[in-house]
Amino acid sequence: MTLDVKSILTRARVMDNYSYLLIDEKTKLSAIIDPSEVAPIVKVCNDLSIKPDYVLNTHHHFDHTDGNLELKKLYNLKIVGAEDRIPGIDIKVKDGETWALGESIAHIIDVSAHTQGHILWYFKDDKMLFTGDTLFNLCIGGLFEGTPQEMFEALKKIKLLPDDVSFYPGHEYTMHGVEDALRYNPSKELLEYVKNAELRLSKGLPVHPTKLGIEKKVNPYLQANTLEEFTRT
Ligand code: ZN
Ligand code: FE
């Protein structure tokens, strides 16, 4: 493991976004994923005496990019994303490419559906996947610029990733997903998952990181095996 990650809750109680601070342990290069709100991010950076070198975006929505320009000004950092709608974009990446934060290598996976140009940041060797508004705990993002077919294909790509990869979602939406998940398949695993989620949230902890192997079993949108089944969830 060469990558350290800190979860930062932003827009707390309004949209409950998660931004993330990534630190490559060997080179100390660092990046912010989806800076929704500047103040909580700057606080964490100050506490750790870190000057982030990059912003990495999953998609263009304001609640994932609102901090881009201010952080760029504050830290003179570079902004990395997949498309021109990302404010202040400096470096463009696309599906199938890799991008390096020091010695930590991210694989770029296009999952256009929630929006077009939505990407996943997959740090394969570190077994970390940043899913933005595509995959949340127990639910998925809405279809703003895509079709159910596109979302089904996007989730298929996630399902192909190894079970021991941990995912880091763009929002704390776990409790929004509980009811549908229970209706879809009230398995023993799901009941345990919900109990654990409630416990973590009651302590002020995020529900993530969750292993994909577990999420594949309890998230109704990952359990659907055909497009027909998927559109029924
Ligand atoms: Zn979004
Ligand atoms: Fe969002």
Count CB neighbours of 166 within 10 A. Answer: 18
38's torsion region: left (phi>0), alpha (psi -120 to 50) or beta?
A: alpha
- Identify which of 85, 137, 87, 91 has the alpha carbon closest to the alpha carbon of residue 112: 85
CA 178 to chain centre: 19
**d(CA 27, ligand 1 centre) in Å:** 31
Strands 91-92 and 78-81, how do they pair?
parallel
Q: Is beta strand 135-136 parallel, antiparallel or unpaired with respect to 78-81?
A: unpaired
Tens digit of each residue's pLDDT, the chain (233 residues)? 699 999 999 999 999 999 999 999 999 999 999 999 999 999 999 999 999 999 999 999 999 999 999 999 999 999 999 999 999 999 999 999 999 999 999 999 999 999 999 999 999 999 999 999 999 999 999 999 999 999 999 999 999 999 999 999 999 999 999 999 999 999 999 999 999 999 999 999 999 999 999 999 999 999 999 999 998 88
**pLDDT score, position 233:** 83
Distance of CA 214 from the midpoint of ligand 2 (Å): 23
For residue 61, how far is its CA from the centre of ligand 2 (angstroms)? 6
Ligand nearest to the CA of residue 170, numbered in listed order: 2
**Catalytic positions, please?**
59, 61, 63-64, 114, 133, 171
The tokens describing 96, both together, are 């199938």
Q: What is the pLDDT of residue 232?
A: 85
Q: Exposed, middle or buried, 114 (CB in 10 Å: 0-12/13-18/19+)?
A: buried
From the CA of 87, how far away is ligand 1's center (Å)? 14
Cα–Cα distance, 149 to 227 (Å, whole number) = 7
For residue 83, the SS3 value is: coil
CATH superfamily of the domain spanning 3-232: Ribonuclease Z/Hydroxyacylglutathione hydrolase-like (3.60.15.10)
Alpha carbons 158 and 136: distance in angstroms, whole number: 12
What is the C-alpha separation between 168 and 65, in angstroms, rounded? Answer: 17
Query: Cα(224) to centroid of ligand 2, in Å?
Result: 23
What is the predicted pLDDT for the residue at 1?
61
φ/ψ of residue 208, rounded to 5: -70, 170
pLDDT of residue 151: 98
Please state the pTM of the whole predicted model. Answer: 0.98
Ligand nearest to the CA of 171: 2
d(CA 226, CA 221): 10
- Which ligand has the minimum distance to the alpha carbon of residue 11? 2
Q: What is the spatial distance between Cα 168 and Cα 170, in angstroms, rounded to a whole number? A: 7
The ranges assigned to domains in the chain are: 3-232
